[in-house]
Structure 1
Amino acid sequence: MKNLNKYRNPVTLDIIQVVSEIKRILIASSIFMVGFAGLANAQDNNPSLGIIPAPVLLKKSIGTFMLSQQTTLLADSVMNKAVVFFQDYLLNKGMLKIKLKPNSGLIPANSIVLTSQGADKLPPDGYILLITPQKITITGRGAGLFYGIQSLIQLMPGGKAGAASLPCVEIEDYPRFKYRGLMLDVCRHFFSVEFVKRYIDLMAAYKVNNFHWHLTDDQGWRIEIKKYPKLTQVSSLRAQTVIGDFHDRTPQQYDNTPYGGFYTQDQIREVVKYASARYVNIIPEIEMPGHSEAVFAAYPELSCNPSLTTYKVAETWGIFHNIYCPSEQTFDFLQNVLTEVMDLFPGKYIHIGGDEAPKDAWKKSEFCQKLIKKLGLKDEEELQSYFIQRIEKFVNSKGRNIIGWDEILEGGLSPNATVMSWRGEAGGIAAARQNHHVIMTPGSAGLYIDQLQGKQNIEPLNNGGNAPLDKIYRYNPIPAELTSDQQKYIQGVQANLWAEYIATEKKAEYMILPRMLALSEVGWTSLSNKNFADFTNTRLPSHLAWLDKNNFNYRVPAAIGSQDTIVFGSQLNVNLTSPVNGAKIYFTIDGYPPRETDMEYTVPMHYNVPAGQYRELKTIVITPSGKRSQVTHTVMYNQLPFEAINYNGTSKGLKYRLYTGGFTSTNQLKDEAVIDSGVSLSFNTSAFKNNMKGFGLLFNGFIHIDADDVYGFSTSSANGSVLLIDNQPVVDNDGKHGLFDQGGAVPLKKGYHKITIKYFDATSSGNLKVFISATGKPKSEINPAMLFY
């Protein structure tokens, strides 16, 4: 076996001794998870019949309905847009040329009935779907009827077979939240009309009903405004774009390639019409007063320093300090812009941004300081509130309402504004307590889907942070801090796709899928019906197979039942299921990365691990279209519990060595890079940063264990960390990545054991936490009282 010497242990072991000395095992010595082969099989055991988002109430019945060319489609209104959508879907996706007739009340056998009769008793956007052997009935009004159709479509087998067998079932369903949103940033990188429609198709299929279209920013203006042609002639085009992660490169590098794009008003109308046909409302965002660098490239007179001749469309990311001057000229400009915007977008809401608006320019502006005094304002924060409230009054005069990021709370909230809480939940909580409508979209809860889905060193370039599928799925938009009355102001939830590092449509799909499906269940499904294991292991595989077949890009999950970990035991039991129906799992046990040339997993496997040895399993999932999961890596050791070390000291803490450098692995922590050493009482890294962009730490000492057991250890770190006990690797969380928790386990006898932790921070914004768990005890951070040197 290649490159495995670091795992070898010369001690000869007897597994019987292991069993006798460790009575309670915290970490199981097997890998196990049950899945299913296809949607048809899932329907037998799955209470939601594979539907995403999971319905409120579902009752299965005996029998099936045969959908065929002889089926009749009846509707109260044959011109209803949900009816038209469904007929088109049956023809183009199912090769079913079914006759559409008005519903006269006489229902023949083998019919699909789309009706609003009785729908007035349903909650908003609710529907009832009833499938019997004789007919299918969907009851709903407006979007409710459309969502019932979407659930029916999910029950239909894929492919253009010209016929389909559907399970008999009764579904009563309605959303938990009225607002279920997804944002697309087209300013940092531009996306075609065709892609925007594809984006909307995905939203509609999973009952996400608000498309937040981020149309203006420092890096580009993307919407045609007839009154101000230079917005598309100048502000839509940047001369070049920064290369890679602009945080990491000194000096910054650029691609020397002009970049631009915008939507004509006719294209906007086309997209609005397309979305409306799918019951998706579009919310345009026109940023103000910050994120306006691109505007000043065309109209510098709107800035606080109009004589400046160096304004240009921003070529890198971040926050810029030039913001609109709150002059009458600026308000005239913005009102004219918003008038054209509101003529294009018929929805209730107009998003006006309001975030990340530094006040430096206002503090230096003689005009702004005079205006603050004239209006009797306290400071620049209240000046921003004046700015937002004035825009809001204008928008309200047109019969619309504004939405803004939670910074619009600063200086006093506009009376009719809705707040998008993105900097955690604090802004949303404050707004709800003031009786303002709130949309929860905190990046800290996994709702910034430009963030990582795994370790950074194996994921595409991204905006940092960590937002895996389970994190977004488990988010509850209702803060416990609010009273029941205040909770009513939480309108819903939204995920955001910022496009600084998303230059292609395929990458955009990779970032939203499958996380958008998790978002749909957060916004639609009641808490009592949410189940992450059912979502990922039972329902998601068929949906990913559909995405795979229809040429969508998505992140392929690891094999169900696989994991990255280090464990101990005498037999490695491998029971895996494909996370994508039809995909294959390949594996190796020789240390090499698996690929399609290796062994295919087909049946459960059992590897005996002789005493003193280990087994190393690596797996990869490859879909029918050739997409690949990340490689998972499990190592199992068979050895006795580690004997305690003879240590009698009383000195609290651990010795540390501080390194400097641009590290990408803990293996790079070399003696020549040491710049400091000493004793630390904890693993807190904040004291070591000292404005260093990159640094590393090596902690050495002893940990006191109070009972014989198998102990779980894990590190939670932004960037790489490795933990060893008695020189044995236990946690491998190495590599450059966002905040990520990685674990392992080791059998230990009571007493002192050597502990070594290696860590590096590549950005100076990372952190490190170290956890321990034991049988019958919850996982918790290591108590400093356990550490000695």
Structure 2
Amino acid sequence: MRPSRLVLAFCLGCLASAAASGAAPTRMPALIPMPARVELGGGRVAVDPARLRAEGAEAERVAAFFSDLLRRSGQADAAPGAGATITFTLAPAADGPREGYRLHADAAGVRVEAATEAGLFYGAVTLWQLLDAEGRMPAVAIEDAPRFAWRGLMLDSARHLQSVEEIKSLLDAMALHKLNVFHWHLTDDQGWRIEIRRYPRLTEVGGCRIPAGDGGRDPATGTPRPYCGWYTQDQVREVVAYASARHITVVPEIEMPGHAQAAVAAYPALGSVAGPTAVSSDWGVHPYLFNVEEETLAFLENVLAEVIELFPGRYIHVGGDEAFKRQWENSPAVQARMRALGVEDETALQSWFMARIERFLVAHERRLIGWDEILEGGLPAEATVMSWRGTEGGIEAAEQGHDVVMAPSSELYLDYLQTDLPGEPPGRPSIIDLQQVYAFEPVPAALSAAEARHIVGVQANTWTEHLRSFDRVQHAMFPRAAALAEVAWSPKDERDFAAFRARLPAQLERYRALGLGYAHTPFSVRVEVDDRDADAARVRLSNPLGFEDIRYTLDGSAPDADSRRYTGAFDLAPPAELRAAVFDQGSPLAPPVARRIDAASRLRRDEEHLAMCSDSLTLRLEDDGPADGPRAIFNVDIFDPCWEWKDAPLAEARAVRVRAGRIPYYFQLAQDEGNRRVRPAATEHGELQLHAGCDGPELARIALPAGPAADGFATLETALPAGTGSGDLCLFFTGDTRPTIWVLDRVELVPGR
């Protein structure tokens, strides 16, 4: 069974017959990812979920999974009387791809057939999506198989740990998106999260760090409070088995030669510099590298031997990224080792290092995969490249005859923010929205047909520096994982974002039925208020995904499907309590947003409604306290902490009042350190300076206190010079205040000229 192009082919005779009988034509089902070929018949088929027939042990396992999925989504008892039977059939002799399947439903019953259990499993997922709440589905014939063999999702458990149950829930979600590779990032500078029995200090020491600031202190005693956690080998086996039952391969990542600080903290002799270190509480790029002595290589091989026993999949990910060579350059021992090996420079040394590790993996019937930096200095013979710094590394590797998984940070890093709306949680700079994920094409046009065959798949990565809770992990992943799934599974030429968007509301219903967390922000309302005129505010509403049915109220009541529909920008006379939500077929897609528009809001801006002056490296950062529970969130450009209020009504104000917070500066920037802009301070603790525009004259400055008040904030107020006219207001803090940094929380103009 070889899938053809996606054919949204309706059975015209069936439709004509349905029309003659007065039945409504069946519309295309909201499947994600869309199958390779769909042919719709006329009418709908009533299915009895209790009437399952499975032929063979593999089919019985799939039927049991399907039955449990119906139970978990509340559809197990949806049969309208005597419905049709569902039959799962394994047909090993069938011609077709390993993960392909056929699904056929008509009045005689529903049949799912595949050559392998994996294909049958994916057919069951499609069948589940086809069934409605009443146990009915369209008459349909589907012939389907994935475009790529590697359909991956990566989770970083090194920076913040997730429980085994949370990992399992993620694997469940992956299976329902037909994603089949779980890349598990288990070691890094901030934590070693996998038990290695031969080296217990890797978890006893490397599995704990003291978080920066108040988060690392006991609120009652002020003593250090470590953040600890790791997975036992029994827990790892449990996760691997759970994934395997869902036809997901777990690919572990053990970082080397860089991102090694947690390991070096546990066993200092592994490092390239003398002396002990601690597990890092900072984010960013760290200098620690494993040395290249035989004892260290033997250590890494012993670690990998235990990893191989735990993970039966073909691939072991060994990192290889961001291994900046300063420690190797400054180490006499490393330099002597290079001379003994006849290696000319540190880049070639990393290539030698990876080739040595690859030989060990190949001898144990495993295959090395690493980030695209492993290309530098020469690629090991059988290595696979995961291209994250754009697609260029993937192109180079494919041209050399190596397999490639495309995972560029510019399109597929899910810890980047999804929208520019205020409701986004902490995250990394810039925005990767749903449209951008969906538009990514894994096979570059620059490759020949033979080279293109080396693009074995595509993967999205979720780093967790700023994702302290599993709720935030889910927000980052979903619904962007749905877009990834369609990129990875569906035929290239048939991808259409407008059609995908139309199917998303049904996907959200599935998420809710299974209790899967997802981001509401893509389905929320962007509110833009032009309040330069004190007597009339101009309001514009929009949705990041382009959903057009926006309903709103102005009296503070919750909007519903009968509320006023937004048709274009409108004026209102303050005060007003605006509430707005996006609707689809009469149902809201996200909770309503609320915005108070009055005289006070006109003279106040929270940090999320201010612009960054240069936007060099803007992050959405969380405060360090309280130790437990919700924390304040700030937008800050860590390269140039400077905020701008455009068109501020300064002429109406006699003073400016600022609420500023202070958070730890927990970043290591390696070669980017020189890009930080530090404005000179004139007083001991620096100042808050106010300028008329970022390049304009100084309006005022306020000396900063030694620290914030007990609540973590400082309130600063200064008079404006007489004659100050309205215009852009620029605010920044002077001085290098590390290990902390001041951030802006709120700016208020004090009226009364």
The answer, yes or no, to whether TM exceeds 0.5 is: yes
Kindly indicate whether the alpha-carbon contact (under 8 Å) linking 1:184 and 1:212 is maintained by their aligned counterparts in 2.
yes
2:395 counterpart of 1:429 = yes
Q: Please report how far the alpha carbon of residue 233 of structure 1 lies from its aligned counterpart in structure 2 after TM superposition.
A: 1.1
Kindly indicate whether the alpha-carbon contact (under 8 Å) linking 1:350 and 1:402 is maintained by their aligned counterparts in 2.
yes
Map residues 381-420 of structure 1 onto 2, 5 A cutoff.
381-420=347-386
Cα distance 1:333–1:589, how it changes in 2: closer, same or farther (>3 A)? same
TM-score, normalised with respect to structure 1: 0.67
Kindly indicate whether the alpha-carbon contact (under 8 Å) linking 1:241 and 1:259 is maintained by their aligned counterparts in 2.
no
Deviations 1:484-516 (A, max 9, x none): 221111111100110000111111111111111
CA–CA distance in structure 2, aligned partners of residues 575 and 71 of structure 1: 49
Residue of 469, 476, 482 corresponding to 1:517: 482
CA–CA distance in structure 1, aligned partners of residues 143 and 729 of structure 2: 52
CA–CA distance in structure 1, aligned partners of residues 169 and 438 of structure 2: 23
CA–CA distance in structure 2, aligned partners of residues 763 and 456 of structure 1: 25
3-state DSSP class of the match of 1:350?
A: strand
Q: Which residue of 2 aligns with 1:15?
A: none
Q: What root-mean-square deviation, in Å, do the aligned CA atoms of Structure 1 and Structure 2 show?
A: 4.2
3-state DSSP class of the match of 2:279?
A: coil
CA–CA distance in structure 2, aligned partners of residues 411 and 258 of structure 1: 39
Deviating more after overlay: 516-525 vs 458-467: 458-467
Deviations 1:303-351 (A, max 9, x none): 122x403x11111111111210011111111111101101010000000
Q: Which residue of 2 aligns with 1:546?
A: 510
Q: Which residue of 2 aligns with 1:26?
A: none
Q: Please report how far the alpha carbon of residue 580 of structure 1 lies from its aligned counterpart in structure 2 after TM superposition.
A: 14
Residue of 110, 127, 141 corresponding to 1:152: 127
2:430 counterpart of 1:486 = no
Cα distance 1:564–1:243, how it changes in 2: closer, same or farther (>3 A)? farther
Gaps of 5+ in 2: 1-23, 217-221, 531-537, 598-639, 657-673, 680-688, 696-725, 735-753
3-state DSSP class of the match of 2:151?
A: strand
Kindly indicate whether the alpha-carbon contact (under 8 Å) linking 1:541 and 1:579 is maintained by their aligned counterparts in 2.
no
Q: Which residue of 2 aligns with 1:587?
A: 552
Cα distance 1:607–1:54, how it changes in 2: closer, same or farther (>3 A)? closer
CA–CA distance in structure 1, aligned partners of residues 488 and 646 of structure 2: 40
Residue of 137, 159, 176 corresponding to 2:111: 137
3-state DSSP class of the match of 1:175?
A: coil
Map residues 475-624 of structure 1 onto 2, 5 A cutoff.
475-536=440-501, 538-557=502-521, 587-588=552-553, 597-602=557-562, 605=565, 619-621=580-582
3-state DSSP class of the match of 1:665?
A: strand
3-state DSSP class of the match of 2:370?
A: strand
Q: Which residue of 1 aligns with 2:259?
A: 291
AA in 2 matched with 1:395:
L
AA in 2 matched with 1:546:
R
Q: Which residue of 2 aligns with 1:7?
A: none
Could you say which structure has the greater relative contact order, defined with CA pairs below 8 angstroms and 6 or more residues apart?
A: 1
Q: Which residue of 2 aligns with 1:769?
A: none
3-state DSSP class of the match of 2:169?
A: helix
Residue of 179, 184, 201 corresponding to 1:208: 179
Cα distance 1:543–1:456, how it changes in 2: closer, same or farther (>3 A)? closer
Q: Which residue of 2 aligns with 1:282?
A: 250
Cα distance 1:280–1:661, how it changes in 2: closer, same or farther (>3 A)? closer
CA–CA distance in structure 2, aligned partners of residues 763 and 125 of structure 1: 57
3-state DSSP class of the match of 2:359?
A: helix
Cα distance 1:285–1:690, how it changes in 2: closer, same or farther (>3 A)? closer
Deviations 1:450-487 (A, max 9, x none): 00111275421112121111111111111122122211
CA–CA distance in structure 2, aligned partners of residues 627 and 610 of structure 1: 23
Kindly indicate whether the alpha-carbon contact (under 8 Å) linking 2:36 and 2:490 is maintained by their aligned counterparts in 1.
yes
Q: Please report how far the alpha carbon of residue 298 of structure 1 lies from its aligned counterpart in structure 2 after TM superposition.
A: 1.2
AA in 2 matched with 1:145:
L
CA–CA distance in structure 1, aligned partners of residues 204 and 648 of structure 2: 49
AA in 2 matched with 1:533:
A
3-state DSSP class of the match of 2:184?
A: strand
Q: Please report how far the alpha carbon of residue 75 of structure 1 lies from its aligned counterpart in structure 2 after TM superposition.
A: 1.9
Q: Please report how far the alpha carbon of residue 260 of structure 1 lies from its aligned counterpart in structure 2 after TM superposition.
A: 1.2
CA–CA distance in structure 1, aligned partners of residues 239 and 278 of structure 2: 29
AA in 2 matched with 1:308:
G
Deviating more after overlay: 689-698 vs 422-431: 689-698
Kindly indicate whether the alpha-carbon contact (under 8 Å) linking 1:560 and 1:579 is maintained by their aligned counterparts in 2.
no
Identity among equivalent positions (%) equals 37
Q: How many residues align?
A: 591
AA in 1 matched with 2:98:
P
3-state DSSP class of the match of 1:58?
A: strand
Cα distance 1:374–1:211, how it changes in 2: closer, same or farther (>3 A)? same
Kindly indicate whether the alpha-carbon contact (under 8 Å) linking 2:46 and 2:83 is maintained by their aligned counterparts in 1.
no
3-state DSSP class of the match of 1:600?
A: coil
Cα distance 1:231–1:136, how it changes in 2: closer, same or farther (>3 A)? same
Cα distance 1:757–1:560, how it changes in 2: closer, same or farther (>3 A)? same
Q: Which residue of 1 aligns with 2:667?
A: none
AA in 1 matched with 2:140:
V
Q: Please report how far the alpha carbon of residue 577 of structure 1 lies from its aligned counterpart in structure 2 after TM superposition.
A: 11
Deviations 1:562-609 (A, max 9, x none): 88699xxxxx9999999999xx9651458xxxx6x2443426747799
Cα distance 1:630–1:184, how it changes in 2: closer, same or farther (>3 A)? farther
CA–CA distance in structure 1, aligned partners of residues 591 and 434 of structure 2: 17
Deviating more after overlay: 351-360 vs 664-673: 664-673
2:591 counterpart of 1:628 = yes
CA–CA distance in structure 2, aligned partners of residues 386 and 358 of structure 1: 16
Q: Please report how far the alpha carbon of residue 255 of structure 1 lies from its aligned counterpart in structure 2 after TM superposition.
A: 10
Residue of 304, 307, 311 corresponding to 1:341: 307
Q: Which residue of 2 aligns with 1:357?
A: 323
Q: Which residue of 2 aligns with 1:85?
A: 65
Cα distance 1:443–1:576, how it changes in 2: closer, same or farther (>3 A)? closer
Q: Please report how far the alpha carbon of residue 416 of structure 1 lies from its aligned counterpart in structure 2 after TM superposition.
A: 0.6
Q: Please report how far the alpha carbon of residue 548 of structure 1 lies from its aligned counterpart in structure 2 after TM superposition.
A: 2.6
3-state DSSP class of the match of 1:546?
A: helix
Q: Please report how far the alpha carbon of residue 554 of structure 1 lies from its aligned counterpart in structure 2 after TM superposition.
A: 1.5
Q: Which residue of 1 aligns with 2:232?
A: 264
Kindly indicate whether the alpha-carbon contact (under 8 Å) linking 1:558 and 1:630 is maintained by their aligned counterparts in 2.
no
Q: Which residue of 1 aligns with 2:101?
A: 127
CA–CA distance in structure 2, aligned partners of residues 762 and 482 of structure 1: 48
